[in-house]
Structure formats: structure tokens, C-alpha cells
Amino acid sequence: MSDLRGRPRTLRELRASGWQSRSVKQEIRDNFVRMLRDGEELFPGIIGYENTVIPEINLAILAGHDMLFLGEKGQAKSRLMRSLVRFLDEATPYLDLPGCPVHEDPYHPITRAGKRLVAEMPEDQIPIAWWPREQRYAERLAPGTKFADIIGEIDPAKLALGTSMSAEEALHFGLIPRMHRGIFAMNEVPELDELVQVGLFNILEERDVQIRGYPIQFDIDVLILFSANPSTYNRSGKVIPQLKDRIGSLIQTHYPLDRSIGIEIMEQEAGIDLGGEYPVLVPPFMKEIVEQISICARKSKYVDQQSGVSARFSIANYRTMVASARHRGIRLGEKPAVPRISDLAHIYSSSLGKLELDLMGSHQMSERQVLEAIVAEAIKIVFEEYVDKHGLDEIADVFSKGVKIEVGDTLPSSHYAERLKRVPKAWEKAFEVNPSSNDAVRASCVEFVLAGLYASDRISRSQKHGRITYQL
């Protein structure tokens, strides 16, 4: 929270300070220009949009546009909207009117009470308060939103006390009038009732609010942001054409353009401490498999692609995988614990419910069956990238000599070391980690190679009592 001590507390002090009134869009633009000129990071924590989405936002800010963020779920639309708050001043002054929810510009009040105060009171008696930037942003989810929620309504309680229905004092203000001189965001705009869309269109067009046809108008100063999914936004009749036409800039978001960016996002957003009393070492190929699962899901014919597969899918699965490894490390006393393919058996708990099946493409497959197919495909893709094809025969030869290896997330790493004492040279070339130096790392590499060989139809697999046995 900003420190607001020492700021002007009366209108006279405010004028003496040299403070100038600006529209909220001008304020955002001025601060953006200063930060851009000084080389400051404009959108900290936003990864993968440096050359695509962020330049479009920059231009929209400079143009003074209201914005629509159009993209599938889990593409940081809400985060981008919230990030615009950092371009507001640290705090802005307003008339300190008891009972008035509108944060009035001290030089240009819009309510009857604010105008009366400025006209009738000496400036050294007009109180000024300060509105921190953190409070100048509000957002609303469209489903269930009514006109009264975001615009306003006549307050029956005030009428009962004798207030005239045509007076401002009879109004209950919605979110947008309360965000006068701030930022208001509406999520999933296609789900808004048409009457509410008309109200928003009027604000975008005229910058005023009219409630129930009464002659009460406010010159609202607000930056309005919207978010929507393309599958619903582009559907005829979901958003009225007049509203679409008045939105200044449409910002198209997207999923990570390559796997390395997806992994960077996944690690950042998961926020897991891999150290501590029970440390976890995550091999690069396990991170790649988790992110590749999401990539495969986004391309799967069994998954409804209009719904999308959120970045939260990777994040939740990554957390579950690390938790499974840490659980084993605590129980067996292994430090560090190293995630294995068998730990992915637990991602069903973090995946189910996050995938929406394509009822035509899935042929009545269950969500679990679809996920199993996606995981198998992801393992195969990463395995083929990792293991040099000339080394496959050498690795498979180990199993041709009658070696059977049982794997499972509860087995100690020493179990793998006993079954496979010699580490094939091909492994040393394939992995960034050294599987011969640590039993837990070796166990992870063993499971990865076994699962990859199985996915490539080079060895067979049998499953019993939660454990899997691989053999040639």
C-alpha cells in the first residue's frame, strides 16, 4: 500500500502543490511513456508475449483505446488486464465527500454533491483524500452480472426516506461509476446480458451513465477492458455489433509458441521451492514431458479445442509430479528426490476436470483414457528427441538379455541400481544429468528410457498392483 502521508489535504493545498488534472487514459499514457523511455520493465512476470502481444498493448495505450483481450483459457488475459494498474499514478486526489462512492476529480466533479461542495465551500475547507493505485481497479465476471451491478439502480431504501426518484441521491452506484478515474475490467463479455451490453456501449460511446431513463447523467472517466474466448466472441449474436465496434483495440493472446517458453511459465507460476529439508531435483526431460502433455492435449482430436487447454494444466501437473517425488523422498529418506515417469500416474488428480472432451472425436472415451493416450504421446515425442537413434539398439540390448525391470513411484532408487548396474554410454550422451552419479537420477532416467522404448513399440509392458514391469 502506498504511503500517503504529507500529501495535500485541502483543495487549496492541492492547487498550491501544482497537481494537474488528467483523464485516466492520459495518466496511464504519460506514465507508460516515462517507463518506456527509461527502459523499465513494462510487464514483469509476463513470459512469451514480448514480440507478439505486448507490442499491441503498448500501441493501444498510446492510442488511448479501451481493449479487448481475446484468447482461450489460461493465456494470462486477466493478468495482463491487472498489470495495467502499474501505469497509474501512485495515488490520485479526490474530494472527500462523506457517503459518496464516486472518487471525484477535485477540479472537475461530476456529481451534484461534488459540484455543490466546490461551488459553496472555501477551498481551504474542502477536504481532499487520496486514492491508491491498488484500489483503482475492479473486475467482474460476466455470467450473472446485472445492469445494477455495474451501472446502477434506483435505491428503494432511499425512496422510502423521501428522496425524489429523479435525484442523484436516490441512486445506488454500480461498479463503473465507482471506478470513475480508474480501470474497470469485464471478463467473458459474450456471457453478458444484452441490456448490460447496451449500457457498456453507451459508456464507450458517450462516456456517460443513464439509469432507468431518468435525466441523471455522469461524465464517466474510466478505462474499460474486456476479455473473451474466440469461440463465443465470434459466435453470431453473442456480442452486439455496436459494442464490438466501439472497443478500440483487440489484443489476441496465445499459448506458448515453443516448449521452452511453456516450461519457463510453468516453473514461474508453480512457485515451488525445490530446496529445503526434502529437496527435489527435476531432470530436464521430466519438465519437458509435463509441458509436452499440454502441447499434445492442445492438438488432440479427443479434446475440445474451442475450450482450450490452460497453462494451469501444466502448472498443476508439475506441482503434482514434484509432490509425488517429495513424498517418496520423505518416506524413503532419499535426498534429493528425483521425479520419475511413474510419478506421472498421479497427475490424473490434477488433470481430470481441466480437459473438456470433444464428444465427436473422443468416441465416448473416458477422460482418463484420453489423458493416458496424451501422456503416452508426450513421452514418445520427448524420448525421440532425447535419445540418439543409434543408441536405441544398445539400450534395448540390455533388455534382450532377459532383464526385467519393475518400476513404481514407491520403489527406492536402489531397486533400479541393482537391476541395471551398467549405464549404457548412449545415456551419458542423451541426458543433461549424469545417471551414473546418483541412484535417484538413474532411476528417473531408467523409467524415462523404458517408457520411451515402450511408446516406440520396442519393449513390452505389464501392470499389476500399481507397479509396471518392462521387458523385451
CATH of the domain at 101: 3.40.50.300
| pLDDT for 225 beyond 90 | yes
Tens digit of pLDDT for each residue in 77-90? Answer: 999 999 999 999 99
| pLDDT for 53 beyond 90 | yes
- 355 versus 334: which is more confidently predicted? 334
Domain membership flag for residue 38: yes
Q: Are residues 402 and 439 in the same domain?
A: yes
Q: Quick one: pLDDT at residue 125?
A: 95
Domain membership flag for residue 2: no
- Cα atoms in the 13 Å half-sphere on the side-chain side of 263: 13
Q: Are residues 291 and 246 in the same domain?
A: no
Q: Which of 233, 252, 271 is the last residue of a domain?
A: 252
Q: Are residues 333 and 359 in the same domain?
A: yes
Q: Are residues 246 and 277 in the same domain?
A: no
Domain membership flag for residue 354: yes
CB-count exposure of residue 456 (10 Å: 0-12, 13-18, 19+): middle
Tens digit of pLDDT for each residue in 141-151? Answer: 999 898 888 87
Q: Which of 195, 218, 252 is the last residue of a domain?
A: 252
Q: Are residues 390 and 285 in the same domain?
A: yes
Domain membership flag for residue 216: yes
- 307 versus 65: which is more confidently predicted? 65
Q: Are residues 215 and 314 in the same domain?
A: no
Q: Kind of pairing, strands 67-70 and 249-252?
A: parallel
Domain membership flag for residue 285: yes
| pLDDT for 421 beyond 90 | no
pLDDT bracket for residue 130 (50, 70, 90): very high
Domain membership flag for residue 5: no
Tens digit of pLDDT for each residue in 311-339? Answer: 999 999 999 999 999 999 999 999 999 99
Domain membership flag for residue 4: no
Dihedral sign, Cα of residue 54, residue 55, residue 61, residue 67: negative
Q: Quick one: pLDDT at residue 391?
A: 62
- Cα atoms in the 13 Å half-sphere on the side-chain side of 186: 30
Domain membership flag for residue 3: no
Q: Quick one: pLDDT at residue 98?
A: 87
| pLDDT for 3 beyond 70 | no
Average pLDDT over residues 19-36: 97
| pLDDT for 46 beyond 70 | yes
Q: By mean pLDDT, which of 3-7, 293-297, 306-310 is the weakest?
A: 3-7
Q: Are residues 145 and 17 in the same domain?
A: yes
Q: Are residues 117 and 61 in the same domain?
A: yes
| pLDDT for 43 beyond 60 | yes
Cell matching residue 72: 482461450
Coil, helix or strand at residue 184: strand
Q: Are residues 451 and 343 in the same domain?
A: yes
CA atoms of 119 and 316, how far apart (whole Å): 57
Q: Quick one: pLDDT at residue 169?
A: 63
Q: Are residues 338 and 416 in the same domain?
A: yes
CA atoms of 255 and 345, how far apart (whole Å): 25
Tens digit of pLDDT for each residue in 356-398? Answer: 887 665 567 788 889 999 999 999 999 888 776 556 666 666 6
Q: Quick one: pLDDT at residue 208?
A: 63
Assessment of whether the complete model's pTM goes beyond 0.95:
no
CA atoms of 425 and 406, how far apart (whole Å): 22
Mean residue pLDDT across the chain: 86
Q: Are residues 231 and 267 in the same domain?
A: no
Q: Are residues 18 and 160 in the same domain?
A: yes
Q: Quick one: pLDDT at residue 16?
A: 95
pLDDT bracket for residue 340 (50, 70, 90): very high
Q: Which of 252, 274, 307 is the last residue of a domain?
A: 252
Average pLDDT over residues 210-226: 76
- 365 versus 121: which is more confidently predicted? 121
Q: Give the DSSP H/E element, type plus range, for residue 177.
A: helix 175-178
Domain count, the chain: 2
Q: Quick one: pLDDT at residue 195?
A: 84
Domain residues for the domain of 193 are 11-252
| pLDDT for 352 beyond 90 | no
